Amino acid sequence: MEPVTVYSQYAWLIPVFPLVSFIVLTAFGRGMRSAGMLIGMLGSLAALVLSVLVLLERMTNGDSPEYNYSFDWITIGDFQLNAGYDVTNLSALMLFVVSVVAFLVNLYSAGYLKEDERITVFFGYVALFTFSMLGLVLSDNLLTLYMFWELVGVCSFLLVGFWYTKPEARAAAKKAFIVTRVGDVGLLIAVLLLFWYMPEHDLSFAAIENVFGQTGTIAQGITTLIAILIFVGAAGKSGQFPLHVWLPDAMEGPTPISALIHAATMVAAGVFLVARTYSIFEASQAAMDTVAYVGAFTALFAATIGLVQNDIKRILAYSTVSQLGYMMLALGVGSLSGGIFHLFTHAFFKALLFLGAGSVIHAVHTQNIHEMGGLGRQMKITAWTFGIGALALTGIPPFSGFWSKDAILAVALDKNPFLFAVGILTAFFTALYMARLYFLVFAGKSGAAGKAHESPAVMTIPLVVLAAFAALSGFVELPWAGMGRLGAWLTGEEAAHSGSGLVLVVSTAIGLLGIYLGWLIYVKGAIPRDFISSRAPWLVRLLERKYYIDELYHAVFTVGLRASGRALDAFDTYIVGGAVRLISGAAVWAGRAGTRMQNGQVQTYGLWTVIGLLALILAIAGRRFW
Amino acid sequence: MPEQIPWLTVLTFSPLVGILVLLFLPKANSRALRTAAILTTLVPLVVSLWLFAQYDPSAQAGGIFVEQTPWITAALNSEALNGVASYVYEFQYYLAADGLSLPLIVLAALVATMAAFASVHINKRWKAFYIWFLLLETGMLGVFMARDLVLFFLFFELTLISLFFLIGIWGLFNREKAANTFLIYNGLGSAIMLIAFVLLIVTAGFQSVPDGEAMRLVYSGNYETIMANLADPAAYVNIPDAQANGSNPFFMSEGMRWLVFILIFVAFAIKLPVLPFHTWMLRVHAEAPPSVVMIHSGVLLKMGAYGLLRFGVFLFPQQADDAAYVIALLGVANILYGAITAFVQNEFKLVLAYSSISHMGIVLLGIASLNQIGLQGAVFQLVSHGLISALLFLIVGSLYERTGTTDLRELGGLARALPFMSGVLLTAGMASLGLPGLSGFVGEFLAFLGLFDSMKGVTAIAAVGVILTAVYVLRSVLKITFGPMSERYAALNDARLIEAVPMIALLAFILLLGVYPSILTDSMQHGFDRLFEQLNSRVGG
């Protein structure tokens, strides 16, 4: 079939638009305010328009060949490292998600950060991030992806630390960069392995799919190793246990950033990466199981922590970690379409929830949910849209999260009932913590934070748009035969829907149960709030302290590194430096001794002459006897 | 440009012309002296960039630029062997620039210009400063081009002497001690190098040249001769018993080869520096004036790696191959030791010094790979680290000028008072920790990629250094720029134009190499061909 590439071949322009914005803002942004915002928005709007055109093109020609362009980046002897982009259905979808959220966040930030004196710097960073993220999803090979992968990490770092004078922001930015870098080393080694094991050292995703799609080309052990290393990288970016610790702290960044980077796009890059190299995972059952179990564990683990946090953004952050766990679970049990579907819906409803939280914070100037309350009457748009997002996240039909979560749970039930049970339990906790959050913030009496006003239109319009997506985006894939359009479009075949009727009912019931329980506790007061904490204070404490993971890492890594640093430093000063001083000291001593001999006394000279002569005679004479 | 002009000579010695100009300027006029010095450094910069652009590795004879003429010929004994032959020492004025030298020449010229800008912070005896400065530039340019052992040695010593004075006169409080440590350590290295060179000249440097009826028996310092002899199984140096009446005095046994290789390795390991020969450079980093450290860290350390490649690996591929594991392990030790120690330093300049040790470990990894990718990675890393550390010390100089300290415990939050400089510092830090899109990544990645072919485990351990680098770079850079700012820094002014120009120029090069690395790798394409010929023929035979 003749490829239809009217817009696809210009896809490289999509990341270029925000890049231009970034360059302009960096070079000339000083002193700009509204002009700077406009430049940032124009860049992301242009990217959005072209992304939509590319997506439409791929949707109408879903099975036409993909457009690919690549060039030699470095040529060394017979080896080549390429850079390039290709427009697949998956990347077209991701382009759309990224540019929609990026544009809406740009718009929202114009209101949210209106007072900030460094607003053009902010828009510049956001533009750089948008460029990098779009580049990441367009990359046609693992090395190019790795480069953008690092760039989005840096942008995340810059934006988390945007309010750089706060020591917490500095610490969080540093932590975000370093923890994800741990994962990146895994990915880096995977790249090295692939380079030397792939035929013709080809790192392109197309070649990877070819080679790993057929068994036997690359040994099983190496395949598993590569897959696990890629997953280590993905776990770092996507906040999977045990590399999840940076993501909640990253909430120190401005809230629009939490929505864009730490909810909708960058943190999903790990899921995207696994999906992009899925053939490697499919070739190794061990790797698939690792992904599934780590994902399931992370989902449950983070959801339990989310139950007891008091900071509105941190609850959402743990929720993000938990939902990313779902996506990994989906990929691990073999459902590529389920994972991507949930990524797609989650991007909208979680961005919505964060922006809604931002709207609340903007109004009441606190992030503690216990200081809020009764905001539903004062901030109607925020409350309604947040409610839609919460229902989507909880998985109540017909909102989007319901359909995507159902797609995952259905496959899990099919493949591994234990993982299904974990998923259902997580769904219950999800419903409970969202109910707690929603009721404490929007229901009841006004809290300590007092009166609030609805945010300006520039902030509420993005909320409404995202709410529409959060409500409706689930309909792209329905669990009945013939209606799994997204899956069919992405993978070429529709996902199986065995036993999904049961799953639909169970997951809805569990979600409603969680909400009902939350209502009983936080609205009706039928169950006292300290029901658990009075009976098992250690449990609540354990959850509040996030299972002491941060403390553990601090004790092992930070303290350990500092101690070994001190030890090496002392070694450097006293042992290496000491040896040097000893040698130079010996030379000085010899020099001094020599000086002392030449004291101007003829007798001394005579004495030394005699001693020397004797030594010489002895040496010459002595030789005969040896 | 016309062919007959000896561009390499112009390149090397143009700073000396600048010195002549400086001599006629009033010694109190710092501005005029500085302008003259900056203009002088532009000449080698322009010439080297032009040569780099002209260089065509696919041309005949590799497109190498060569200037060669007899220089010192010392007859030993013309009557020897009954007039049949005469012994002579022959040392040549022999400059050449190939794919390995050219990037480093450009680096040296560029960093010199930037350092000349940065010397705006020098506040006494400007004339003498710039004279030594320009002498240093001639020395380092010469080092990268000299292809005669004696000539190389002279240029090498020229850098030592000029640096000694630059540290000793214009350094900070402990400058004299630092200068002495520097001189003693490097003098030791030079002595070892000299022994190795003499051994090479009297063995592999030997050749008999027909001279009319008689034979001329020549001891040559010519690098090409020595290299060809070492590689040629029929050369005297490789024949244990050339004459029936006794052993061949020019023969180099296996043990002798190892000795010379190790001597050369140690001599240049001190310069690089390789653990545990690094303590001297800590002092230099801490005490020398920042603009001199720019050259020291940016270029002079690279002479160590260059010498290691040119005289160690190229002349003794067999030994290098056998020692590859040791070299790689030393590289890993450098990377981890430097990174971990850098993490606990409170003096920013020492952080950068240990960082240099760590980054030079990556160069060792690339060398140990002994394949095209890794070696190019090593050279790329040299150039990249040269640019990055020059930039970092440029900032250190400007920072110290304003705050009077580079102690991390006293700095903080400077992004508020100095947004531009802080931004540059952050970017330089990112380049240093290997962010893709900036030059540091390419060198690091290629070195890892090359070494991974032969030593997977070692490379994987070295890759842990990537995390540690992020840890110490972010710790120190964020300590300076982020966080609350002390009020006493509130009135500081951001970079002036004369400071901003070299910062932006260096950043531009770092970015260029990061985005478009082919500009460098293509020129190195054939720089290692002969090495591989030898390595391959050895494997084949």
Per CB-CB distance under 8 Å, the chain A contacts of B413 are 164-165
Question: How far away is chain B from the Cα of A590, in angstroms, using its nearest Cα?
Answer: 16
Confidence of residue A477 (pLDDT cuts 50, 70, 90): confident
Q: What is the mean pLDDT of residues A52-73?
A: 86
From the candidates A121, A164, A232, which should be mutated to test the interface with B, based on the most B CB atoms within 10 A?
A164
**Gap between the Cα atoms of A574 and A493, Å rounded:** 68
CA atoms within 13 A on the CB side of A8: 26
Distance CA B249, CA B227 (A): 18
On whether any CB of chain A is under 8 Å from the CB of B10, the answer is no
Q: Is the peptide bond between B317 and the residue preceding it cis, with omega within 30 degrees of 0?
A: no
Q: Which residue in chain B has the smallest CA separation from A146?
A: B436
Distance CA A315, CA A127 (A): 27
Q: Which of A154, A167, A580 sits opposite B484 (nearest CB)?
A: A167
| B232 Cα to chain A: minimum distance (Å) | 25
- How would you class A458 by CB atoms within 10 Å of its CB: exposed for 0-12, middle for 13-18, buried for 19 or more? middle
Q: What is the pLDDT of residue B243?
A: 54
Instruction: For residue B482, list chain A residues with Cβ-Cβ distance below 8 A.
Output: 161, 164-165, 169-170, 173
Q: Could you tell me which residues come within 8 angstroms of residue A108 by beta carbon, excluding any fewer than 6 positions away?
A: A256, A259, A355, A358, A458, A459, A462, A463
To the nearest 5 percent, what fractions of chain B are helix, strand and coil? 70, 10, 20
Residue among B440, B322, B436, B469 nearest B377 (CA): B440
Which one-letter DSSP state was computed for residue B420?
H
> Å from A25 to nearest chain B CA?
14
Q: State pLDDT tens for residues B166-206.
A: 998 998 888 888 888 888 888 889 999 999 999 998 888 88
B246 confidence band (pLDDT: 50, 70, 90): low
Least confident of A138-147, A375-384, A572-581: A572-581
B482/A165 Cβ within 8 A:
yes
Do B363 and B381 touch, CB atoms closer than 8 A?
A: yes
Smallest Cβ–Cβ distance between A76 and the set B376, B453, B463 belongs to B376
In chain A, what percentage of residues exceed pLDDT 90?
51
Spell out the domain ranges in chain A: 1-140, 284-544, 551-625
- Which residue is it, tokens 């693992």? A142
Query: Per residue in A19-35, pLDDT tens?
Result: 999 999 988 878 788 88
What is the structure's pLDDT at B229? 87
Query: Residue A38 — φ and ψ, nearest 5°?
Result: -65, -40
Percentage of residues in chain B having pLDDT higher than 90 = 54
Distance (Å, whole) CA A384 – CA A370: 20
Please report, rounded to a whole number, the percentage of residues in chain B having pLDDT higher than 70. 95
Question: b or e along A269-305 (b: 16 or more beta carbons within 10 Å of the residue's beta carbon)?
Answer: bbbbbbbbbbbbbbbbeebbebbbbbbbbbbbbbbbb
- Is B484's Cβ below 8 Å from some Cβ in A? yes
Between these two residues, B209 and B224, which has the higher pLDDT value?
B224
The verdict on B100 touching A (C-beta cutoff 8 Å) is no
CB contact under 8 A, A177 and B470: yes
**What's the gap in Å between the CA of B306 and the closest CA on chain A?**
20
Nearest to B518 among A75, A151, A169 (CB): A75
Q: What share of chain A is helix, strand, coil (3-state, %, to 5)?
A: 75, 5, 20
ipTM over 0.85: yes
Whole-angstrom distance, CA of residue B75 vs CA of residue B476? 59
> Cα–Cα distances in Å, from A261 out to A125, A265, B35?
12, 5, 48
Angle (CA) A526-A531-A536 rounded to 5° is 170
Nearest residue in A to B485, CA atom = A165
B346 Cβ under 8 Å from any chain A Cβ: no
DSSP string, B194-257: HHHHHHHHHTTTEEEEEETTEEEEEEE-BHHHHHHHHH-TTSGGG-TT-STTS--TT---HHHH
What mean pLDDT do residues A114-142 have?
A: 92
pLDDT grade, residue B310 (50/70/90)? very high
Does B369 touch chain A if contact means CB atoms closer than 8 Å?
A: no
DSSP summary character for residue B168: H
Taking contacts as CB-CB distances below 8 angstroms, the residues of chain B near A565 are 340-341, 343-344
User: Cβ contacts (< 8 Å) between B343 and chain A: which residues?
Assistant: 561-562, 565
B517 to chain A, any CB pair closer than 8 A? The answer is: yes
Closest chain B C-alpha to A184 CA, distance in angstroms: 9
Distance from C-alpha of A306 to C-alpha of A322, rounded to nearest angstrom: 9
The minimum CA-CA distance between A374 and chain B, rounded to whole Å, is: 36
Is B341–A569 a contact, with Cβ atoms under 8 angstroms apart?
A: yes
In the predicted model, is pLDDT for residue B261 greater than 80? yes
On whether any CB of chain A is under 8 Å from the CB of B459, the answer is yes
Give the model's pLDDT for residue B540: 41
Residue range B287-294: mean pLDDT, rounded: 91
Nearest CB partner across the interface for A151, out of B437, B474, B521: B437
Mutate to test the interface with A, among B341, B466, B494 (most CBs of A within 10 A): B341
- Tell me if B122 sits within 8 A of B291, measured CB to CB: yes
Is the pLDDT score of A238 beyond 60? yes
User: Is B341 close to A76, i.e. CB distance below 8 A?
Assistant: no
Interface probe for B, chosen from A143, A162, A192 (most Cβ of B below 10 Å), is A192
Q: Identify the pLDDT of residue A142.
A: 94
Is the pLDDT at B63 greater than 50, yes or no? yes
pLDDT, averaged across chain B: 88
Alpha helices in B455-517 (DSSP H): 456-481, 497-515
Q: What is the DSSP letter of A6?
A: T
Written as one string, the DSSP assignment of A291-331 is HHHHHHHHHHHHHHHHTT--BHHHHHHHHHHHHHHHHHHHH
Residue pairs spanning A and B at CB distance below 8 A: 120
Beta bridge partners of A71: A83
B529 touches chain A (CB under 8 A): no
Catalogue the E-assigned strands of A2-124.
67-76, 79-87
Burial B167-180 (b: 16+ CB within 10 A, else e): bbbbbeeebeebbb
Chain B CB contacts of A579 below 8 Å: 276
Nearest CA distance, B320 vs chain A (angstrom): 21
Distance from CA of B6 to the nearest CA of A (A): 31
Write down the pLDDT at residue B541.
Answer: 36
- B466 contacts A188? CB cut-off 8 A: yes
Instruction: Measure CA A90 to chain center.
Output: 19
Q: Which of A76, A157, A168, A576 to substitute to test the interface with B, most B CBs within 10 Å? A: A76
The tens digit of pLDDT for each residue in A145-167 reads 999 999 999 999 999 999 998 88
Residue-wise pLDDT for B424-444, tens only, equals 999 999 999 999 999 999 999
Closest residue on chain A to B180 (Cα):
A584
Average pLDDT score over residue span A330-339: 92
Q: What pLDDT, in 10s, does the model give residues B115-156?
A: 999 988 888 888 899 999 999 999 999 999 999 999 999 999
- Judge: A193–B452 Cβ closer than 8 Å, yes or no: yes
Verify whether the Cβ–Cβ distance B436 to A73 is below 8 Å: no
Give the pLDDT score at B490. 83
**Of residues A213, A194, A195, the one with CA closest to residue A284:** A213
Q: Which of B445, B512, B536 to mutate to test the interface with A (most CBs of A within 10 A)?
A: B445
Buried b (16+ CB within 10 A) or exposed e, A230-241: bbbbbbbbbbbb
Q: What percent of chain A has pLDDT over 70?
A: 97
**pLDDT tens figures, B504-524:** 999 999 999 999 999 888 888
